[in-house]
Amino acid sequence: MKKLVINNNVRKLRFLNDEITQKDLAVKVGVSRQTIVAIEKGQYSPTLELCFKLAIIFDKTIDEIFYIESDEKENK
Amino acid sequence: MSYQESKSLTNIFSSIIITGIYTLIVYQRYLNGNVDTTDIFRFWAIVILIFIPISIVARIIIMIIFSIGTAIVQTAQGEEAEVMDVIDERDKLIELKATKISLIIFSLGFILALVTQVINMNNHVFFITLIGAGVITEIVSELFTIIYYRKGV
């Protein structure tokens, strides 16, 4: 199976949630700001636990935050 | 450059500087022909056992200076000082990968050290190869840490 390119809407969701900063989000989910930066850039795929934490913070399901790159293109 | 990348670079430089200075001192004192070659293992045991605490203390001092320097730079740039001692899942993953690489490199260094004995080289060469492998291992491991932080994991 081909390696999946996973992307996310974290940056967009941050702005939709009162423009929460990367630093504040990092504190809320218990990681460093650099990790949030890496997630937003698609350089790091977080663990399921962190995905759930983000989902709780943004009040979304995990697949509303993370998606496979090709799926997003198909949706567009 | 992020805090973790700067920290890795500092570790590389401190490793080179500390080992370099200590090697120079040991060489000047003992290895330029003045050493008693009858008890090489005891000599190297003493050299390594002295090096361990010196290295730990020097690294602690360098890391304190580094942390102070980082805080000063952040303040000068008008940034709020961030809490940098948070080690999260990404840091642990990168550390794990770097540790795996360092184990492979040190194992190769150990094999090389054994080879020096098989081809009847001086016993000093065995220990110098081991110490050299240790330094190279640390440098490469820190370089990979920087790469993982830059390119992602």
Contacts of A31 in chain B (CB under 8 A): 86, 88-90
Give residue B153's pLDDT band: very low, low, confident or very high (50, 70, 90).
confident
CA distance A3 to chain B (A): 14
**Predicted confidence band of residue B137 (pLDDT cuts 50, 70, 90):** very high
Chain A residue with Cα closest to B80? A23
Distance between A34 CA and the closest CA of chain B, angstroms:
8
Decide if B4 and A34 are in contact by the 8 Å CB cutoff.
yes
**Minimal CA separation from A52 to chain B, in Å:** 14
pLDDT of A69 reads 83
From A47, which residue of chain B is nearest by alpha-carbon distance? B89
pLDDT category of residue B37 using cuts at 50, 70 and 90:
low
- Cβ–Cβ contact A46 with B under 8 A: yes
Domain span holding position B137: 3-151
pLDDT at B35: 65
- Within 13-52 of B, beta carbons closer than 8 Å to A belong to none
Phi, psi at B79, each rounded to 5°: -90, 150
Name the band, by pLDDT with cuts 50, 70 and 90, for residue A71: low
Instruction: Flag the least confident range among A66-75, B64-73, B103-112.
Output: A66-75
Question: At a CB cut-off of 8 Å and minimum separation 6, what does B95 contact?
Answer: B145
pLDDT of residue B61: 94
Q: At the top level of CATH, which class does the domain A6-67 belong to?
A: mainly alpha
pLDDT tens digits along B41-84: 888 999 999 999 999 999 999 999 998 988 888 788 776 666 56
pTM surpassing 0.80?
yes
Cα–Cα distances in angstroms (integers) from residue B45 to residues A23, A29, B58, B153, in the given order: 48, 47, 20, 39
Q: Mean per-residue pLDDT for A35-62?
A: 94
Q: Give the CA-trace dihedral at B33, B38, B41, B47, to 10 degrees.
A: -40
In chain B, how many domains are there? Answer: 1
CB pairs < 8 Å spanning A and B: 37
Cβ of B152 within 8 Å of Cβ of A35? The answer is no
Confidence of residue A76 (pLDDT cuts 50, 70, 90): very low
> What are the chain B neighbours of A43 within 8 Å (beta carbons)?
151-153
User: Which of B126, B83, B152 has the alpha carbon at shortest distance from A31?
Assistant: B83
B81 or A64: whose pLDDT is higher? A64
pLDDT at residue A44 greater than cutoff 60: yes
The verdict on A34 touching B (C-beta cutoff 8 Å) is yes
Q: Where are the domains of chain A?
A: 6-67
Task: Provide the token pair at A18.
Answer: 């009162």
| pLDDT at site A74 | 52
The per-residue pLDDT of chain B, averaged, comes to 89
ipTM of the complex, rounded to two decimals: 0.81
